[in-house]
Amino acid sequence: MHVVVIGSGGREHAISYKIKESKALRRLYNIPGNPGTDTLGENISLDVSSQKELLQFCKDNTVDLVVIGPEVPLMEGLADTLRLGGINVFGPQANAAVIEGDKAFAKNFMKKYNIPTADFVVFDKKDYGSAKEYLGKVKFPVVVKACGLAAGKGVLICKDRQEAESALRECFETSSFGSAGDRIVIEEFMTGQEASVFAITDGENFICLPAAQDHKRIGDNDTGKNTGGMGAYAPAPIVTPEIQEEIERKIISPVLKGMKAEGRPFSGCLYCGLMLTEEGPRVVEFNCRFGDPETQAVLPVLEGDFLLLLYSAARGNLDKNAVKYSGGSAVCVVAVSSGYPESYRKGFEISGLEHEEDGVIVFHAGTKKDSDKVVTNGGRVLGVTAFLNKNDLKACKEKAYKALENIHFENIFFRKDIADKAIGKIPSKF
């Protein structure tokens, strides 16, 4: 097969790494890719918003499958354009990608189909007055969310009325999230541990990959600012087989049925961001794609043929046995540029990447080539993943941090506690 992976982050490096293992692969193109994917296939410098050019590239190179990594091209309808042009695509059409791109849609959809989530109310910019009034009636904390895509920044947890009023100002007055904040959701604050579950689906059938846990805050013990994700591990023992069954029955099945009934069949990877509350799993958010960094921890523990899994989903005929999980574990620690998620500097040389070790993969996220060097080019720079073929997150953690000792760049920063929540817990019998 000739395969294109769209995107340039750690998630796309991990997807490409896993696809590369398939015997069915003949050619791998990453558009635009990064220095990590460059070692697996060919990086092609095309703009991912130029849908016509991408379609032409696929035709010229007899591409059998396109895997779309990020949400923005999915929301822009890249999957629709490529499919209309006769290309197989892993990733949802635009009217299904709204499950991530429009939080008001997602919340109303969950309400209609009785999918457990936080109680909520939606307000438009023109309803600013009623939104303020509403804050007089609610119990705090509440969560204020910009409805559109806000690069992971549009969620504000407000402990009291004053903070909530300031969140409303950010959305409706100072437009901190641009037009993404013109409509907001105010929702109930849920407590519990979070988990991420990926359902791979052809629109009707699905399989779930082992559950993972992300680490969203910048600092150890979940302190400081929210980030795109500072590390992840899989499998997450908190998602017991019973909870997994509940997630599939109460959340994933009804979502896929409901989306189909709405004329928005969802195929690709449905990312379920969950809060495991005392009343059971409840949805925090859906994403229309693989999560990052979770993908960097989940894919290394899969056995079998990941490419065939994605291809079968894209063709509408999911092969539920293409991959299996047989007891491995993985820990991914994200190394960032100090200052992230606020301002940070780029362009520092990264050393130690040539150091190879069994069971360790260094996924590139924000890097670029500068003549013969690899330099930092983003906030999240690398995802250092260690994996074992047994369920031992403690050993994976040690291995990942040991590997990080070989890697250097100016202003490197990483959390020291990735996977601590799971270490010592009973392993999941997923």
Per partner kind, with CB cut-offs from 5 to 8 A, the member of ligand GLY, ligand AMP, none near residue 190 is ligand AMP
| Contact by Cβ (8 Å): 298, 236 | no
Q: Which is nearer to ligand GLY, 181 or 229 (CB)?
A: 229
33 to 17, 355, 418: CA distances (angstroms): 12, 21, 26
Report the nearest approach of ligand AMP to the CB of residue 311 (Å). 29
Per partner kind, with CB cut-offs from 5 to 8 A, the member of ligand GLY, ligand AMP, none near residue 118 is ligand AMP
CA–CA separation, 213 and 219 (whole Å): 16
Report the nearest approach of ligand GLY to the CB of residue 106 (Å). 13
Per partner kind, with CB cut-offs from 5 to 8 A, the member of ligand AMP, ligand GLY, none near residue 305 is none
204 to 254, 283, 307, 315: CA distances (angstroms): 10, 20, 19, 12
> Left if phi > 0, otherwise alpha if psi is -120 to 50, otherwise beta: which for 319?
beta
Instruction: List, as one string, the DSSP characters of 7-71.
Output: E-SHHHHHHHHHHHT-TT--EEEEEE--TTGGGTSEE----TT-HHHHHHHHHHTT-SEEEE-SH
Report the nearest approach of ligand AMP to the CB of residue 275 (Å). 6
Report the nearest approach of ligand GLY to the CB of residue 377 (Å). 19
Binding residues for ligand GLY, rule: CB under 6 A, are 214, 229, 287, 291-292, 294
Exposed / middle / buried, residue 157 (Cβ in 10 Å: 0-12, 13-18, 19+): middle
Q: Which is nearer to ligand GLY, 54 or 365 (CB)?
A: 365
Classify 102 as helix, strand or coil: coil
Report the nearest approach of ligand GLY to the CB of residue 214 (Å). 4
Per partner kind, with CB cut-offs from 5 to 8 A, the member of ligand AMP, ligand GLY, none near residue 202 is none
CB atoms within 10 A of CB 159: 11
Instruction: Give φ, ψ of 241 to 5 degrees.
Output: -55, -35
Per partner kind, with CB cut-offs from 5 to 8 A, the member of ligand AMP, ligand GLY, none near residue 193 is none
Binding residues for ligand AMP, rule: CB under 6 A, are 118, 143, 152, 155, 187-190, 194, 216, 226, 273, 284-285
Write out the two tokens for 15: 């997807």
CA–CA separation, 72 and 221 (whole Å): 31
Report the nearest approach of ligand GLY to the CB of residue 65 (Å). 22
CA–CA separation, 260 and 152 (whole Å): 27
Q: Which is nearer to ligand AMP, 190 or 350 (CB)?
A: 190
Per partner kind, with CB cut-offs from 5 to 8 A, the member of ligand AMP, ligand GLY, none near residue 292 is ligand GLY
Report the nearest approach of ligand AMP to the CB of residue 254 (Å). 19
Per partner kind, with CB cut-offs from 5 to 8 A, the member of ligand AMP, ligand GLY, none near residue 54 is none
Q: Which is nearer to ligand GLY, 187 or 214 (CB)?
A: 214
